Structure 1
Amino acid sequence: MRETLHVVITGASAGLGRAIAHEFGKTGARVGLISRDLPALEATADEVRKLGGVAATYAADVSDDLAVEAAAASFEERLGPIDIWLNNAMVSVFSPIKEMEATEFRRVTEVNYLGYVHGTLADLRRMLPRNRGRIIQVGSALAVRSIPLQAAYCATKHAIVGFTDSLRCELYHDKSAVKAVVVHMPAMNTPQFTWVKSRLPNLPQPVPPIYEPEVGAKVIVHAALTSSPRREYWVGGSTVKAIIGQKLFPGLLDVYLGKTGYKAQQREEADSPDRPNNVWQPVSTSLGAHGPFDTKSRPFSIEAEVSKHRGWFVFGCGILGAALCARKLLSR
């Protein structure tokens, strides 16, 4: 790939996407930014430029495949051939399944899953003929181990993994040099918990431990720049525990999360049913990359650093962590 990368990021106006844009800006990359919120995108673009990068924006809803294709064409014209395409845009609904509406499941699926499909297709149309490039999917610990109250979000993250596994097989079959990578994220301090739609009595929060978005963003940049990326990266100790724990004793985790998952996802502050949410339209925010949990968030993860060169060490740590979770459950 060329020395100066052209990177496209969906969901780039806030949270993890904005933090990722900052990290690529520091490398001097040409960064294409996509989201529905144009003013926030322009603010992100200014930050990228101040950090040393080049930035361009395109307002689009990733659930619209034609809009995503138009964004890709626009970025190639303005910034050059795309080297890295990062699928990150998401929405969610915090609610018991029995209270969900079919339209909500459909909307979350169209953004979180089909949005990734649309981005990947637009990307492949350009990368395959050039026989180079990298597609990075922002995954989650919840892509492997689902939790209560976020069924729509968890289901889409599972779907992304299945889609990407199939894509890798086809790229190998075609002997393509294009790579597909998934980076599984832990709970992070992003603004989504201020604008997510929720039917919970109290304000939503990420399940502790919480990490600052820069922790995940740095792993994304590593996955983009390394000459031999891993097929998956696991960010944060909680992600390692969730993935390994699901492989070893999923039934125990069903019980454990049934007991703890409701309280763990709520603050001690009442929510309002009239609070604006971003399921159907963007919600303006001045929070940028970070949410309201800075005092509770971790700025570093040993597991994230090790994951860049993961081997049996991380697997062993995951087994130990999962065993401790099981012990905690069985002691109740």
Structure 2
Amino acid sequence: MTLPKVSVIVPSYNYAASLHVCLRAIAAQTYPQIEVLVVDDHSTDDSVAVARALGVRVIALPDNGGCGRARNVGVANTSGEILFFVDADVAMAPDAVAEAVALLEAEPQVGAVCGIEDPEPLLHDTLVARYRGLQYHHWSASGEGNVTFLFPAMCAIRRRVYAEIGPFNPALKQTEEVDYGYRLSRRHQLRLTSRVRGRHDHDHELLPLLRKLFHRARLRIPLYARARRFATGFETAARAWGSLIATAALPALALPVLFGPWWLLVPAALVAASVAADRELYALAYRRRGPVFLMFFVAVHFLVNVTITAGVAAGALQWLVSRPFRQIYDSTFPVEATA
């Protein structure tokens, strides 16, 4: 039986620190039929030199256009029957490509396969990176199965499916994967599986992480309004309620000031309810890192919940007042747009 050729496409922007780890992990794959292409999105560090020093083919773009455009360029300049997108800050397990191909070969109804990242950070082992690794791993692993949310950090797509669905929307810089997941899952199964694994160099500073989460939450609003439903496989109703309840605890802090110390029980109860909404996540943090880290984890996740709620509120307000904002997904949702 002839094995299908796999085109491993690595979009990269200023990831020189992790790119060599990413490319060495690709070189160590057990699957034999691989071609590798790095699409450098106009990096200002030595990413291009790192890739070329390892003998990897590189396309250096003349300006910065985002991951979506870089992936599209990679597809246009490769020839594999299966496209495997890998972020430049991810090191895949040696059998990641082989497992993805095996699943696609065994289940023709599956159009794309996405992997689940290990909870341990790849390079920067800060407290914030440990938080983000555990949080992202659990939210992904708990949605294992058929999803509507694309996880492009490790993602194998049949080329014919990509041709059918069309390219990533280059106008979207932070939500192109959610948009693409919706488009793909309306026609094919999109599978999230722990058979495809890797380690990610997660965000390791708090403010950049919160800033990213705020804008991603804001930019999801017109997509969810257009699709009329949340993505399946990452965002759940319980987590949404957890974010709202955590945010409600902030104004509730005024109650003991106005009415006496016993009212402090109200914000405390709201925080406890927010924790209960995603209790398995906190249990994982306790098992992996112990009680001291759990206290840090609870505090950071509280901030994350409040940030996500603030992003959703900002997005809802922007959706109400800005017609261009409401229409940023129209080009990729022609059915809903004309309904």
Taking structure 2 as the reference length, the TM-score comes to 0.33
Which structure would you say has the larger Rg? 2
**What is the TM-score with the length of structure 1 in the denominator?**
0.33
